[in-house]
Amino acid sequence: MKGQVTFINLLAIVVTLFVYFALLPVLTDFIDVTAAELLLSPNAYTSLIITMMYLTPFAIILSIILSALNMAIPRREGFGGGGAYP
């Protein structure tokens, strides 16, 4: 069995990575400004919210990589999807 990454899937991954890295500076600036504003009036959950905001770019790139790996996993033919009824 071979992997299932087609040219279209590979192109979609490359475009997704390009858009992610193009928007990453905007996202980090937004996170920095929001964290500074949250620190002006902290509450019990401020540190948790700030931590989650700083982990968001990592979670996005992790989901892109996991999606690419999911596309590359070989599938058994005839099982699931595509109207293959037993």
pLDDT at 7: 87
List, in order, residues 6 or more apart from 9 with CB less than 8 Å away: 71
Residue spans of alpha helices (H) in 7-79: 7-40, 46-72
Boundaries of every domain in the chain? 17-72
pTM metric for this prediction: 0.78
pLDDT at 55: 97
> At which residue do the structure tokens 């892109």 appear?
64
pLDDT at 12: 92
- Using only C-alpha atoms, the chain has a radius of gyration, in whole angstroms, of 19
pLDDT at 51: 97
pLDDT along the chain (86 residues), means of 10: 76 95 97 96 95 97 93 71 55
pLDDT at 47: 95
